[in-house]
Amino acid sequence: MKKIKLTEEIWKEGNMFVSYCPELDVASCGESIGQAKKNLIETIEINIEETKKMGTFQEYLTAAGFSMT
């Protein structure tokens, strides 16, 4: 199993914290930094699970700039 490194950016917008993963172009939010991080991880996991179910996981990673070779 290969591992990939992802970046997490977090900033505050109003009363919420936004978390963003630029490599996968995925975002989430939460009322605290911890909640925003947790929600982002959950969003990434859901994206991975769904692309695997659809058979498009390799294409998803390739589009994000990752090579599985």
* pLDDT tens-place string over residues 1-30: 578 889 999 999 999 999 999 999 999 999
Q: Which whole-number Å values give the CA distances from 48 to 14, 15, 17, in the listed order? A: 30, 29, 23
Domain assignment present for 68 = no
Domain assignment present for 18 = yes
Residues 50 and 44: their CA atoms lie apart, in Å, by 10
Domain assignment present for 48 = yes
**What pLDDT does 4 receive?**
84
Q: Kindly report the CA angle at 7 between 5 and 54, in degrees rounded to 5?
A: 65
pLDDT digits (tens, 9 = 90+) for 37-54: 999 999 999 999 999 999
Domain assignment present for 69 = no
Q: How many domains does the chain have?
A: 1
Domain assignment present for 1 = no
Report the chain's C-alpha Rg in angstroms. Answer: 13
Residues 10 and 69: their CA atoms lie apart, in Å, by 31
**What pLDDT does 66 receive?**
87
Domain assignment present for 13 = yes
